[in-house]
Amino acid sequence: MESTRLHGSRTSCSSGNNMNREKKFKRKEVNSYCPLDPFAISVDLTFMSMWQILEKKKALDELVKAAYSEKDHLASLPSFRFYDRNGLSVYLESGHGDKLKSPVKNYIKNLLKVNMEGPYGSEWPMEEKVKYREMVAPDAYYIFVHEAPSANTSEISTMLAAQAENSSTSCIEDKGPLVGFVQYRFTVEEEIPVAYVYELQLEPCVQGKGLGKFLMQIIELIARKNQMGAVMLTVQKANLVAMEFYIRKMRYVISAISPSRVDPMLGIETSYEILCKAFDHEAKTILEVNLFLYTL
């Protein structure tokens, strides 16, 4: 009897101890789920945010690098190498800023002065130096416009193909006379990859014949082909003909990053506008702007 009670008692105590241990364990287990640390969450989110930013930057850099890896962007657009309309017959050829021969450099300088000294006014002496530096930059890509020689289209195509194999613009001045050029680059604006047109310059004798629109359409094709989000360019406000051309004919808009859109007071002080044409929703959201917001 006693033995039984003792045993029962021990059993009872043992069960009680087990229950106590289980309760203690459960309390400990519950207590292990401490409240979330706001600082730790902030650090994690900051880390994730930085990682995402770095990954996006890496992707953008890769896009720009890939665009620059193609030496001749006209090679994939053979039907756009020629323009024969409105009494004008020209052909196009690619070039690079760090491979320009002296005659071509002099041509670019002279045409820039003829076309841009007026719109820039008193700013021209300083701007001229900037443009000369930009002219020979390694990342400056060109489309040169030549008067078509007497040779037929097939012969010109053969000539261009032969030069493309040499990857050089060394003989460019020996062909039909130059009548204009486009200079463009690939870059990133506000985390959007863009093709930026630095110059579109044509001789007065070939203006007004649809050639400028044709060249800009080529730039837009090149931009899209290389997965750029937009084409951008800078225009002097005093260059009313250019402003009319880009906004009315080419359907470009004043960009959200143009001084006049960032700060109207700043816009009054600056002599230029930044224009853009975006190709996708993200680029439109960031680089373009709803004009009605600025009508007040």
Helix (H), strand (E), coil (C) string for 207-256: CCCCHHHHHHHHHHHHHHHCCCCEEEEEEECCCHHHHHHHHHHCCCEECC
Indicate if the alpha-carbon torsion angle 191, 193, 198, 203 is positive or negative.
negative
Which among 22, 48, 69 is the end of a domain? 69
Which among 53, 69, 85 is the end of a domain? 69
Region of residue 86 (left: phi > 0; alpha: psi -120 to 50; beta: else): left
- Confirm whether 11 is domain-assigned: no
Is 98 found in the same domain as 48? no
Q: Which two tokens stand for residue 270?
A: 């600056």
Q: Which two tokens stand for residue 109?
A: 């300088």
Is 106 found in the same domain as 192? yes
- Confirm whether 18 is domain-assigned: no
- Give residue for tokens 């990859």: 193
At position 176, the amino acid (one-letter code) is: G
Give me the torsion for CA of 143, 91, 211, 278, rounded to 10°.
Answer: -40
- Confirm whether 4 is domain-assigned: no
Is 53 found in the same domain as 171? no
Is 158 found in the same domain as 118? yes
Is 102 found in the same domain as 53? no
Phi, psi of 252 (to 5 degrees): -85, 160
Is 158 found in the same domain as 65? no
- What kind and span of H or E run contains 195? strand 192-202
Is 168 found in the same domain as 85? yes
β-pair type (88-96, 178-189): unpaired
- Give residue for tokens 């090679």: 75
Which among 69, 86, 112 is the end of a domain? 69
pTM score: 0.77
- Confirm whether 165 is domain-assigned: yes
Residues in the chain where the model's pLDDT stays below 50 = 1-16, 18-33, 167-173, 292-296
Please state, in angstroms and rounded to a whole number, the distance separating the CA atoms of residues 195 and 70: 14
Q: Please state, in angstroms and as integers, the Cα–Cα distance from residue 50 to each residue in 23, 43, 112, 150, 241, following that order.
A: 44, 10, 43, 59, 45
- Confirm whether 9 is domain-assigned: no
Is 206 found in the same domain as 94? yes
* Paired residues of 83 in beta bridges: 90
- Mean pLDDT of the residues in the chain: 82
Q: How confident is the model over 49-78, as pLDDT tens digits?
A: 787 888 889 999 999 999 999 999 999 999
For residue 28, the model assigns a pLDDT of: 41
Number of structural domains in the chain: 2
Is 199 found in the same domain as 58? no
- Confirm whether 213 is domain-assigned: yes
For residue 267, the model assigns a pLDDT of: 81
Is 76 found in the same domain as 55? no
- Confirm whether 26 is domain-assigned: no
Is 108 found in the same domain as 45? no
For residue 14, the model assigns a pLDDT of: 46
| Sheet architecture: strand order including 178-189 | 82-85, 88-96, 141-147, 178-189, 192-202, 230-236, 272-278, 253-254
Structural domain harbouring 148 = 70-294
Is 137 found in the same domain as 106? yes
Please state, in angstroms and rounded to a whole number, the distance separating the CA atoms of residues 30 and 18: 18
Indicate if the alpha-carbon torsion angle 126, 129, 135, 138 is positive or negative.
negative
Is residue 230 within 8 Å of 283, Cβ to Cβ? yes
- Confirm whether 3 is domain-assigned: no
CATH number reported for the structural domain that contains residue 210 in this entry: 3.40.630.30
